[in-house]
Chain A
Amino acid sequence: MLAMYPFLAEASRYIRDQGLSLEEVLDHRAFQGARNWARERVFTSLETGDLPNPPLSRSAECLEALYAYPLARILVSCVGDGFLVRRFALAEADLARRRLSRESDDFLLAASHALGLDALRDGAFRLHFSDFLRATRQLRGKEWKLINQPVREGFVLLSRDRFLRVVEGHLRNRFEAELPLEVNPTLLRAFEEEVIELHTALRDRRSRLQGEDLGTIRVTNFPPCMEKLLATVLASENVSHPGRFALVSFMNNIGLGFDEIYQIFASVPDFRESVTRYQIEHITGQISGTVYTAPECSTMKSYGICPGPDRLCETITHPLSYYRKKTRMSGTAKKAPADRPAKAAS
């Protein structure tokens, strides 16, 4: 059982009680299988995210599975890359949810308690709303908004399926927060080959993503909020301060330079050259070096500058994702011309 849920405190206690240091495990021929498994887990989480879930019947298999988990975490930590950490956390949490989905309600509830969740069960599952909010931090669809949950006396009522999704979210946050662990030179040496391989895979991935340039700026691909803000500016009407910030940072993120943005704002009625120049320079990072990223959808809503979502908006949580998605869908993306300066949200 522990081998299926190696992230539980009981599992790490078991490993500790064996009295073997990780260095010893890595050196030991008997643990070669665990090591291979760890390697597999990390690579798969980077590539497809779909970790295999073989049945664990023999005790040797269980032991391997149990050790594979801390070894995989160490390998991820040796690479020390944020993107890899997130992919790994996502894949591990997904695997845990698939495994938990085959357990009884009682087991699921006990596991959630072991993970520190304030959960109850009477018919449906009930989870304290503060845990619900933390666990669904990365789920931004409206079906996960607190306001759309049946909340009673501080607890959110959840079907078994939704409860599993919430537990998955909780695990994902936890894995992300825990990694990378500290590693010492012995561990680094032990995983030398794998670390080099992973660095290469990550580099390939990055250059693939960067090659996908957003092409020439197309206003038709702007999300409704930015389109509206831009139209307001172009109509020489005033835009609120948060509105200006959102528009300038957005345009900067998709690749417009200082001069181009400045030209657009020159038509604003309360245009004051020095102020506008300063604001744009500030947001585009020419003053402090900090390049601001456009606010996400929830912030836009709070500022009251989200004009209401269209259908594509329902699938994203950030105006920039809208632009990227639409650009990709409409086939207006192209390879970056060599003379265009590097840009876009990085």
Chain B
Amino acid sequence: MGEEKREATLRYLRSKFAQYYQTRPLHLPPRFGRREFGFILFEGGFVLRHLGFPKEATLYRYIRSKSPAHVYHSAAYYETPGAPTMAEKGWMGADLIFDLDADHIPGWQKMGYPGMLEAVKGQVIRLIDDFLVGDLGFREDDLRIAFSGARGYHIHIRDPRVFTLESHERREIVDYITGTGLDLQLVGRREPFEERTFGGQTRTLKRFRIPMASDPGWRGRTTRGISQWLETLSELPEEQAIEALRQLEGVGPKRAQKIYGTLQRLGTDGTRARVETGHLEFFPPGSGASLVAQGVEYAKGATDEPVSSDTKRLIRLMGSLHGKTGFSVVPLTREELDAFDPLTDAVPALYEHEKIRVETPQAIVTDMMGETFNLEPGQNSVPEYLAIFLMCRGMATLASGMAGDATEGPT
């Protein structure tokens, strides 16, 4: 890529970003004046940080003058957010942040961008409904959800009770969500249920029991996981179901066949009724532990550990633009999340539908605003919103002869 073209491309993006920030799109965090801010510019790779802004107007002035590619604020709030070192800032507390990115989804590399966005959204919904609002009891009012502008979502928790949690304690919450450190004895074990005396000898009969589905915490969660997994299994064709069962540790072809047979005999409702009341003994002996392990696996949530446990981390400002996509970091309610489609809803209204010419060194297939684009290598005329996305991704440059200034409008 020629230096000149690169320059023209960056100039275009900078000017478009500046235009965007004219519309006062930012959603500032509470205790705004106590936060540290950080920026990455289009031309420089490192973060400009340790900046504090007493007033909204000063922040806007700064952003409009620099037109940064990325804008962040601290999850923490400080006595002196602008102090040059962490020690001098005086940490007072921090929001609890969760970050879920596509790379936490198994097999994400093969999904394609729209597929991975959809899969991440499913995980985020589960993180919120099952864990944050479910077990941990946060109110939806204390939760701010945001599309990250790229491949994932952020959740900011602003319940004062969590502000002073330290790193170790935040990691405990992550462990709770990801199923780390679970004591397996709590969620399934062999228990005595009958004593039999035969020929003067007493034998204690044991059977494998699991908690009730309604039990609090991971006990009930594991049982529900087992039940739900078995339900998805019973909806599969026999061959696939048996194959899935054989993936379990200690389950060979014979045992898999037996478990499948039991599922068929009891039916979906019959299985559910038994499993959810703590019974697993109708499955072949020895398969209890592996079913429990599968239940745990199925019930696990995902979230990025370092983001939550680092109490001094910077997080993207809601309403700002992501310099690697051009998308905006869209704040969402839990209800809005359901129908949210980043490839349409995170494209700022300011980006034009009119076409501009870009150069794409490689062939590109991508979806945006409900359309699929198929670009050959070379020069292409594409809607401005797509051009911005591709230029931000580094997959396209402004074609020569294009004005490097967005304010003049595309030609």
Contacts of A149-191 to chain B: CB distance below 8 A? 149-155, 157
Cα-based distance from A302 to B138 in the complex (angstroms): 25
Asked whether A146 lies within 8 Å of B137 as measured between CB atoms, the reply is: no
| Residue A129 CB within 8 A of the other chain | yes
Asked whether A301 lies within 8 Å of B165 as measured between CB atoms, the reply is: no
Asked whether A143 lies within 8 Å of B171 as measured between CB atoms, the reply is: no
CB distance from A146 to the nearest CB of B (A): 4
Asked whether A302 lies within 8 Å of B171 as measured between CB atoms, the reply is: yes
Asked whether B176 lies within 8 Å of A130 as measured between CB atoms, the reply is: no
Asked whether A130 lies within 8 Å of B165 as measured between CB atoms, the reply is: yes
CB distance from B221 to the nearest CB of A (A): 10
For A145, give the chain B residue with the smallest CB separation.
B181
Asked whether B172 lies within 8 Å of A145 as measured between CB atoms, the reply is: yes
Encode A126-158 as 1/0 by CB contact (under 8 A) with B: 001111011001000011011111111111010
Asked whether B216 lies within 8 Å of A147 as measured between CB atoms, the reply is: no
Cα-based distance from A203 to B322 in the complex (angstroms): 58
Partner of A133 from B138, B165, B305, B306 at Cβ < 8 Å: B165
Asked whether B172 lies within 8 Å of A148 as measured between CB atoms, the reply is: no
Q: List 5 A-B contacts (CB under 8 A).
A: A128-B161, A137-B166, A143-B183, A145-B175, A146-B175
CB distance from B160 to the nearest CB of A (A): 9
For B159, give the chain A residue with the smallest CB separation.
A130
Task: Name B's interface SS.
Answer: helix
Tell me which residues across on chain B come within 8 A of A157, comparing CB atoms.
Answer: 216
Asked whether B305 lies within 8 Å of A302 as measured between CB atoms, the reply is: yes
Interface of B with A (CB < 8 Å)? 135-138, 161-162, 164-166, 168-169, 171-173, 175-176, 179-183, 186, 215-219, 305-306, 309
Asked whether B137 lies within 8 Å of A148 as measured between CB atoms, the reply is: no
Asked whether A129 lies within 8 Å of B136 as measured between CB atoms, the reply is: yes
For B137, give the chain A residue with the smallest CB separation.
A154
Asked whether A134 lies within 8 Å of B169 as measured between CB atoms, the reply is: yes
Tell me which residues across on chain B come within 8 A of A151, comparing CB atoms.
Answer: 135-136, 176, 216-217
Partner of A298 from B166, B171, B183 at Cβ < 8 Å: B171
CB distance from B151 to the nearest CB of A (A): 22
Asked whether A146 lies within 8 Å of B172 as measured between CB atoms, the reply is: yes
Partner of B165 from A118, A134, A143, A155 at Cβ < 8 Å: A134
Cα-based distance from A7 to B172 in the complex (angstroms): 29
Cα-based distance from A151 to B176 in the complex (angstroms): 10
Tell me which residues across on chain B come within 8 A of A145, comparing CB atoms.
Answer: 172, 175, 181, 183
Tell me which residues across on chain B come within 8 A of A130, comparing CB atoms.
Answer: 161-162, 165, 169
